[in-house]
């Protein structure tokens, strides 16, 4: 089953429109909830008033402010600093201050409009530019949300000994996850003081304790179920705790089910996004291209509350020096508060920001050494036995050479570096170029994170003749509920259709940790292998005993129990049903709990040691065409080589690589939210926030490489996030190849290219354009 392209377990229902997402579900007596939001970015609340003259019958409306919250008033996350509903200081425009519910969406909307929030303004910091200005000038007014230092060696001495030292800075903007299904949650009172919260959420065991604390209850009385999700990409990691809390509060007050579904503009404007970042790099090399040292200073805009910033920043910092061997490295990373919505998780989790900076810089450092960028990368790539920025000594699962060779050869990189490019543009109207980015991505939680989570999984063999996977890992489109059964079927020997995934509901499944960090197949799948092995052994043992056979001589093949001589004793499913019946049992349950490999050492305070159990490796090559009249960039082709240890389902794995790559191209070229002077977001609709369409997307050629990781199922490493890392720097490097100018700030728009060429920093083409104008 591992390595086979079985079709998705959920695709037939999805295609028929039979899958019920949160907004498709209604209950009798259900109310519709909406959020009342703060009108300014920073200030103190003076009063929250319900207008009596607005034609709203308040007797039909459930209304709640922070006063009505029975328990903890802030959302339990890394820190509990973000209020469910602000009651005093407001830290971003649109921050929830009250919630209302009504029998119909229209009545709820009318009631929302009739709530007046009076505030006294306070000073604001709204943009990355302002954060960086104060950071560089050491000006007052900055509030640190998180800070990390990573590194080793004497960087000053290393740079003093370098022949070439290059310094520059790079920025990346907000990026919206833009899942097609907006955030949506339902709370359902179940009687006897019990409540169920369900919806579009990645992490049932994040939402459950947060909402239980808010209601002042416990997990015996509050359970959380993940429904099928229309995409998430990290955007439903922490936000559902807030929205779920709102729905639960309204359901608690009314005793009725309450559904809250965000509209698109509300979802883009007020939910989490990728952290904007600024990264300055000072890097030195010998003339022969050997790296000497690197000093990196990076600032992330955390938004209004701490939420996920410490862990996003940590991962970004750990990956910031790229997948290269540096004799000396110093990385300082800080996240500051701004008065914009809290930034959070988005596929890549801090890494696309810092990898963008280092991969742009490496292209330029190569040229400063007089080397082609791919030769430079191949020379300095991390290898087994090398020491990383956190002083981790890499093991044999490194696939740096494999991915570089594959991506360079399948794209014809060397040939195109010669035949395309600014120097070859001639007098044509289109400039062409090719660029590469090389990267890695730590699989699973950082450092001791997996030890803290200690993921638990369960596998039931049931009297319906099927194996039931019980995990809190959710299905958001990535295919976990197809891949995990494949892993179980492979180990257990059951046919795939006899392995099912039970709903991820905290009342039914153990805490396998959140569905994040590219950890589901590798960590949760790995523990399921342990369960399935035990289940298989138990089944064989019982069958052997019952039939008077030697258990050591029984085996499972093609869904049948056979003797080692090949005699067929029966099908696994019916044998299971029989065995349970004879024991009078409904099910056998097998449980497993994740433990870090014993050799892993990690010091959180100094960020030194084994940051990740293993890494996935990737190389992306992009070819670009730049229209020299309109400065429009087209990306006709992209090649991606990705080492993911083992592809459990190659079609689904390729889908992850292709989808992540296109999100990265949007990041590179078109996606930009922008902040208005009043703190509102400028582009919060699909008319203005530009996502790639079929006409903007390239042909993406993917090669999956398999350098196995021993503890992953079949050798699998994490996969989902990594493809997001390479697209933007590969495009930026290709544009520089095409035009001879470097655009350092994402997204690379026509305006930026126009200014770069027009300002005279351009190469040959810039000179030609100036001559033309």
Partner 1 sequence: MSEQIQRSWKINNKTREVRFAPLARLLDVLRDQLGLLSLKEGCGEGECGACSVIIDGELQLACLVAAAQVDDGASLITAEGLEALELGRRLKRAFDRQGAVQCGYCSPAMLLGGYALLSERSDPDEEEVRAALAGHLCRCTGYSTIVAAVREAAQSGQEEGA
Q: Is the dihedral of CA 368, 370, 375, 378 positive or negative?
A: negative
Closest CA to 113 of 66, 61, 67: 61
Closest CA to 104 of 187, 31, 29, 185: 31
Q: Report how far Cα 492 is from the mean position of its chain's Cα atoms.
A: 31
Q: Which two tokens stand for residue 184?
A: 């949506």
Checking DSSP bridges between strand 89-90 and strand 43-50, what pairing results, if any? antiparallel
Nearest distance, CB of residue 629 and partner 1, angstroms: 22
Residues in the chain: 773
Identify the H or E element spanning 269: helix 264-270
Q: Which residues contact 280 (CB under 8 A, 6 or more apart)?
A: 167, 168, 169, 296, 297, 298
What burial class does residue 288 get, using C-beta atoms within 10 Å of its C-beta: 0-12 exposed, 13-18 middle, 19+ buried? Answer: exposed
Strand arrangement, sheet containing 699-705: 430-442, 615-627, 633-643, 699-705
Per DSSP, which regions of 203-327 are E strands?
222-226, 258-261, 277-285, 291-303
User: In angstroms, what is the C-alpha Rg of the chain?
Assistant: 27
Please answer whether residues 373 and 337 qualify as being in contact, where contact means their C-beta atoms are separated by less than 8 angstroms. Answer: no
Alpha-carbon span 248 to 297, nearest angstrom: 42
Alpha-carbon span 286 to 292, nearest angstrom: 7
What burial class does residue 168 get, using C-beta atoms within 10 Å of its C-beta: 0-12 exposed, 13-18 middle, 19+ buried? Answer: middle
Alpha-carbon span 465 to 471, nearest angstrom: 19
In DSSP terms, 64 is beta-bridged to: 99
Checking DSSP bridges between strand 194-199 and strand 96-102, what pairing results, if any? unpaired
Alpha-carbon span 537 to 531, nearest angstrom: 10
Q: Which residues contact 521 (CB under 8 A, 6 or more apart)?
A: 480, 483, 484, 487, 648, 712, 713, 716, 718, 719
Q: Which two tokens stand for residue 215?
A: 């209601």
Per-residue three-class SS string for 345-377: CCCCCCHHHHHHHHHHHHHHHHHHCCCCHHHHH
Site residues for partner 1 per CB under 8 A: 5, 7-8, 10-21, 23-24, 177-182, 228-233, 263-264, 476-479, 651-652, 654-655, 658-663, 685-687, 691, 693-695, 697, 699-700
DSSP state of 283: E
DSSP state of 342: P
421-430 contact pairs (CB < 8 A, 24+):
421/737, 421/738, 422/737, 422/738, 422/739, 422/740, 422/763, 422/764, 422/765, 423/740, 423/763, 423/764, 425/738, 425/764, 425/765, 427/768, 428/628, 429/627, 429/628, 429/629, 430/625, 430/626, 430/627, 430/628
What burial class does residue 88 get, using C-beta atoms within 10 Å of its C-beta: 0-12 exposed, 13-18 middle, 19+ buried? Answer: exposed
Q: Which two tokens stand for residue 678?
A: 């009043």
């Amino acid at each position: 089953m591992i390595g086979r392209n079985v079709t998705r377990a959920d695709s037939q229902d999805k295609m028929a429109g039979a899958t019920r997402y949160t907004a498709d579900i209604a209950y009798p007596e259900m109310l519709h909830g909406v959020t009342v939001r703060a009108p300014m970015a920073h200030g103190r609340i003076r009063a929250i008033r319900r207008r009596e003259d607005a034609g709203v019958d308040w007797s039909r409306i459930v209304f709640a402010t922070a006063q009505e919250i029975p328990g903890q008033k802030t959302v339990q996350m890394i820190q509990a600093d973000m209020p469910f509903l602000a009651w005093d200081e407001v830290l971003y425009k649109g921050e929830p201050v009250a919630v209302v519910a009504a029998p119909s969406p229209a009545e709820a909307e009318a009631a929302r409009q009739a709530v007046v929030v009076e505030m006294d303004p306070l000073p604001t910091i709204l943009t990355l530019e302002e954060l960086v200005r104060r950071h560089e000038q050491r000006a007052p007014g900055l509030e640190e949300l998180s800070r990390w230092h990573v590194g080793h060696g004497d960087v000053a001495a290393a740079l003093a000994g370098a022949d070439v030292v290059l310094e520059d800075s790079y920025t990346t903007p907000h990026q919206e996850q833009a899942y097609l299904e907006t955030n949506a949650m339902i709370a359902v009172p179940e009687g006897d003081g019990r409540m169920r919260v369900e919806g579009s959420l990645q992490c049932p065991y994040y939402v459950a304790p947060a909402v239980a604390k808010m209601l002042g209850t416990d997990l015996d009385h509050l359970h959380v179920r993940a429904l099928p999700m229309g995409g998430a990409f990290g955007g439903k990691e922490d936000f559902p705790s807030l929205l779920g809390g709102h729905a639960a509060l309204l359901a608690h007050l009314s005793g009725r089910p309450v559904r809250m579904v965000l509209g698109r503009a509300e979802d883009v404007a007020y939910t989490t996004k990728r952290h904007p970042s600024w990264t300055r790099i000072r890097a030195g090399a010998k003339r022969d291209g050997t790296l000497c040292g690197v000093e990196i200073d990076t600032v992330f805009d955390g938004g209004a509350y701490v939420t996920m910033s410490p862990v996003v920043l940590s991962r970004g910092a750990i990956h910031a020096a790229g997948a290269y061997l540096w004799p000396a490295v110093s990385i300082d990373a800080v996240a500051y508060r701004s008065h914009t919505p809290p930034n959070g998780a988005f596929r890549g989790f801090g890494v696309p920001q810092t990898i963008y900076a280092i991969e742009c810089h490496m292209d330029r450092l190569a040229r400063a050494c007089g080397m082609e960028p791919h030769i430079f990368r191949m020379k300095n790539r991390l290898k087994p036995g090398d020491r990383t920025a956190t002083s981790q000594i890499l093991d044999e699962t490194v696939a740096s050479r494999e991915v570089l060779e594959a991506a360079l050869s399948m794209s014809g990189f060397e040939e195109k570096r010669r035949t395309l490019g600014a120097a070859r543009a001639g007098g044509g109207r289109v400039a062409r170029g090719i660029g590469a980015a090389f990267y890695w991505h730590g699989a699973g939680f950082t450092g001791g994170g997996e030890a803290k989570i200690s993921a638990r999984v369960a596998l039931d063999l049931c009297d319906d003749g099927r194996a039931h996977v019980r995990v809190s890992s959710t299905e958001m489109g990535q295919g976990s509920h197809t891949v995990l059964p494949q892993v179980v079927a492979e180990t257990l020997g059951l046919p795939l259709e006899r392995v099912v995934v039970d709903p991820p509901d905290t009342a039914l499944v153990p805490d396998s940790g959140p569905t994040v960090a590219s950890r589901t197949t590798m960590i949760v799948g790995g523990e399921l292998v342990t369960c399935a092995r035990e289940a298989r052994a138990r089944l064989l043992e019982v069958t052997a005993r019952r039939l008077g056979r030697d258990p050591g001589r029984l085996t499972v093949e093609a869904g049948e129990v056979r003797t080692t001589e090949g005699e067929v004793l029966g099908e696994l499913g019916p044998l299971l049903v029989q065995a349970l019946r004879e024991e009078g049992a409904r099910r056998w349950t097998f449980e497993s709990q994740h433990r870090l490999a014993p050799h892993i050492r990690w010091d959180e305070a100094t960020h030194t040691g084994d940051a990740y159990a293993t890494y996935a490796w990737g190389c992306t090559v992009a070819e670009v065409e730049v229209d020299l009249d309109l400065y429009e960039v087209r990306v006709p082709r992209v090649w991606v080589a990705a080492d993911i240890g083992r592809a459990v389902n190659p079609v689904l794995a390729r889908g992850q690589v292709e989808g992540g790559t296109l999100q990265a191209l949007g990041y590179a070229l078109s996606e930009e939210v922008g902040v208005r002077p009043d703190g509102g977001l400028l582009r919060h609709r699909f008319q203005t926030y530009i996502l790639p369409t079929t006409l903007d997307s390239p042909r993406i050629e993917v090669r999956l490489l398999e350098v196995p990781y021993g503890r992953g199922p079949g050798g699998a490493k994490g996969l989902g996030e990594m493809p997001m890392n390479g697209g933007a720097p590969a495009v930026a490097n290709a544009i520089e190849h095409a035009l001879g100018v470097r655009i350092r700030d994402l997204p690379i728009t026509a305006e930026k290219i126009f200014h770069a060429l027009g300002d005279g920093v351009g190469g040959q083409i810039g000179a030609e354009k100036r001559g033309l104008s």
